[in-house]
Structure 1
Amino acid sequence: MRRTLRSGFTTGACAAAAAKGAALMLREQRRRDQAELTLPTGCKATFVLNGQHFDDERAACFVIKDAGDDPDVTHGVAIHAQVSLVQSEGDILIDGGTGIGRVTKPGLAVPVGEWAINPVPRRMIREAVLEVFPSLPARLIPRVTLSIPDGEQRAAKTLNARLGILGGLSILGTTGVVRPISHQAWTDTLEVALDVARAADCARVVLSTGRTSEQAAQAALNGREEAYIMMGDFTAYTLDACHRKGFAGVILSAQFAKLVKIACGEDHTHVRNARLDLAQLADWARTLGLDGTLIKKIEFANTAREVFVELGANHPLVDAVARRALSWISRRIPGADPGLLLVGYDGREARRFGSTWLFAEGTVP
């Protein structure tokens, strides 16, 4: 029996809880071990506070993020908040510190130069702290400073640097809750990466299904780093997003097994249904009138990779797969100029298909 997967909390929710806990200790001048927070969904959650300390001028604590059963580089991270009261205009100041990234490229949810604390977490922090300090003397306002001691090291395992977030992690989340094994983290990242590419005036983007195919594309094509988007298995979603955002062309970089799935019209190129892919490949081989012995080899192969190694990159069946993949891409993003970069299992470019630009130009515009 499959166990029920456990939900967790976003970095934004943890930051807001830590800020509320620090605000309560500053106001009450006593230790607090927990803080209750109302999430954007309307639900309430209680967070354990750690590292509490306070005096007359400031208070601080941290919340350890529990991402539930969702694999996440931020799982277990300690999100610190310090709250003080300062002379300033407005109703609250929210700053970053050690391990919080800064935005250096346009196209993200916050402007260039700002701390990478997204709008919903900012609102959650503001509401939580102002709940504790609903009124203060004139020109006296709360100041919240967030930090993550190992944020810069953890950020090195993310796409933050490519997106233009330098120096640490982002404080993210729209609901406060992380759903286990959710696709939303991927699709949210894809949306942001495409927005950054648009803001950098990239007319085309290079989509890759994994790190190997991305590295091959970077070696084969000149272009700004913003143009390279690692979409993983989310082929249909990414192409639809490219269409929504008005890109003039897409280059898709993939190895043969993923290309077969795209040619089969699969919206999501996970490894499931590999046998069905091979059956379809055998049918295409029959349509081409290929040798019966080869068709049998395809039918009894273990993987599409095995078929590719047998055929080689220049085989007519590889051409047929590429044509079908290009046709499917064209239907997802009509009016664009699609191209394919086929990557061999040695990690290097094997062939190019489609877009005349891909053959005529050397730089991704």
Structure 2
Amino acid sequence: MTDAVTLRRGWTTGTCATAATKAALMGLWAGTVPGQVSVILPKGENPEFEVVGGRCSSDQAEAGIIKDAGDDPDVTHGAEVRVTVRPSAGGVVFRAGAGVGLVTKPGLPIAVGEPAINPVPRKMMEEEVVALAVAYDRTPDVEITVSVIGGAELALKTWNPRLGIEGGLSILGTTGVVRPFSCAAWIASIHRGIDVARASGLPHVAGCTGATSERIVQGVHGLPDHAMLDMGDFAGGLLKYLRRHPVPRLTIGGGIGKMCKLAQGAMDLHSGRSQVDLGALSSWVGQDLTDCNTALEAYTRVGPNLAEAVAHRALNQVKITLQDTDIKVDTIIIDRAGTIIGRAA
């Protein structure tokens, strides 16, 4: 197994867009797009990038950077981030090119109607404009159009449709660096989903551990797509954020194994970071289950009484984590076939 410390870091779409912006500006103002370019990241790192497809004329220039996400399983790994620059009527203006989405719902850090280019990448690109304007004795009045080749199709594999980002990907990044298998990116997506739900005035959201439980919970409560928070294993990331940013109603759904962990107080439900306590399950139902290998085996032996006990204890743990909020909560446990086997409210 590969040791996590050996995993190779990569670069965010925001860093790639910044590098492409710098290369394109050099083409616009110096007449030649360079073959390589380096940028300074928010924490002072100074990576260098190969430039692809550079071309320029008297009134515009463009350049591309192939995104390298390192060893992170990022859907945008290998995609070309392309920037076109041209003079603007005043200041730095951002445009969404092909494959970059537009914001259509409130709650995100970018206003409705704006290109989905997050604040840190915008700042990084603006700083390059100012620095190069000084270097080439130009006014920093530039229109920056960011595109991602194939971005509209890639966006369908992300949270963007649920967050109200239509037509393509977001240009993301806070440090400029992609850290392999980072939990932070997933949890940040959960937080943005809650922000959008609150800004949209949704009265009810749901967090589920997987696709089957999500489908069932959505159908049971008739929830829209943007009410479905992709909780996965990160129950703590969802619940702690909701504690600070509450909504009227919350449903937590999942399979028996992960819901057992939640019922026992685990906030990270990943198999490598929490385990089911079969002794605790035994005490809940008054039956020795310690010879079982999994929660599913225990459920197969005991039946609905175990699922109901887990649902009620999971509900209690959720309420404990939410503390003094007025959020109305229910829990639903689903088997692998999509049948509800336990509920509590």
* TM-score bracket, shorter-length normalisation: over 0.9
Match of 1:326?
A: 315
Q: TM-score, normalised by structure 1?
A: 0.88
Match of 1:307?
A: 298
Unaligned runs of 5+ in 2: none
- Conserved 8 A contact 2:308-2:342: no
Match of 2:9?
A: 7
Match of 1:52 among 29, 37, 54: 54
Q: Report matched runs for 1:115-264 at 5 Å.
A: 115-134=115-134, 135-136=137-138, 141-264=141-264
How far does the alpha carbon of each residue in 1:177-216 deviate from its partner, in whole angstroms, 9 at most, with x for none? 1111111110110110000110111233211111111001
Offset of residue 75 of structure 1? 0.9
Offset of residue 156 of structure 1? 0.9
**Alignment partners' CA distance in 1, 2:278 and 2:314:** 15
Match of 2:23 among 21, 24, 36: 21
**Alignment partners' CA distance in 2, 1:102 and 1:144:** 15
In structure 1, give the amino acid aligned to 2:321. Answer: R
Offset of residue 236 of structure 1? 1.3
Q: What is the CA RMSD across the aligned residues, in angstroms?
A: 1.7
Match of 2:65?
A: 63
- Conserved 8 A contact 1:206-1:228: yes
Offset of residue 331 of structure 1? 0.7
- Conserved 8 A contact 1:105-1:163: yes
Q: Which structure has the bigger radius of gyration?
A: 1
Match of 1:358?
A: none
Unaligned runs of 5+ in 1: 355-365
- Conserved 8 A contact 1:217-1:349: no
Cα 1:340–1:21, aligned 2, differ >3 Å: closer, same or farther? same
Three-state SS of the structure 2 residue aligned to 1:300 is coil
**Alignment partners' CA distance in 1, 2:283 and 2:210:** 27
Three-state SS of the structure 2 residue aligned to 1:299 is coil
Offset of residue 300 of structure 1? 2.5
**Alignment partners' CA distance in 1, 2:39 and 2:158:** 28
Three-state SS of the structure 1 residue aligned to 2:22 is helix
Match of 1:357?
A: none
Identity of aligned residues (%): 37
Per mean C-alpha deviation after superposition, the further-off stretch among 257-266 and 22-31 is: 22-31
Match of 2:333 among 325, 338, 342: 342
- Conserved 8 A contact 1:22-1:82: yes
**Alignment partners' CA distance in 1, 2:205 and 2:159:** 16
Q: How many residue pairs are counted as aligned between the two chains?
A: 339
Offset of residue 160 of structure 1? 0.6
Match of 1:109?
A: 109
Three-state SS of the structure 1 residue aligned to 2:290 is helix
Three-state SS of the structure 1 residue aligned to 2:61 is strand
- Conserved 8 A contact 2:217-2:253: yes
Offset of residue 273 of structure 1? 6.6
Per mean C-alpha deviation after superposition, the further-off stretch among 240-249 and 160-169 is: 240-249
**Alignment partners' CA distance in 2, 1:323 and 1:347:** 19
- Conserved 8 A contact 1:65-1:74: yes
- Conserved 8 A contact 1:274-1:303: no
Offset of residue 61 of structure 1? 1.1
**Alignment partners' CA distance in 2, 1:209 and 1:24:** 48
In structure 2, give the amino acid aligned to 1:332. Answer: T
**Alignment partners' CA distance in 2, 1:97 and 1:279:** 57
Offset of residue 119 of structure 1? 0.8
Cα 1:274–1:193, aligned 2, differ >3 Å: closer, same or farther? closer
Cα 1:332–1:69, aligned 2, differ >3 Å: closer, same or farther? same
Cα 1:242–1:170, aligned 2, differ >3 Å: closer, same or farther? same
How far does the alpha carbon of each residue in 1:2-39 deviate from its partner, in whole angstroms, 9 at most, with x for none? 36111111100100100001111222212411111010
Three-state SS of the structure 2 residue aligned to 1:284 is helix
How far does the alpha carbon of each residue in 1:83-113 deviate from its partner, in whole angstroms, 9 at most, with x for none? 1224x12x21221110000111111111111
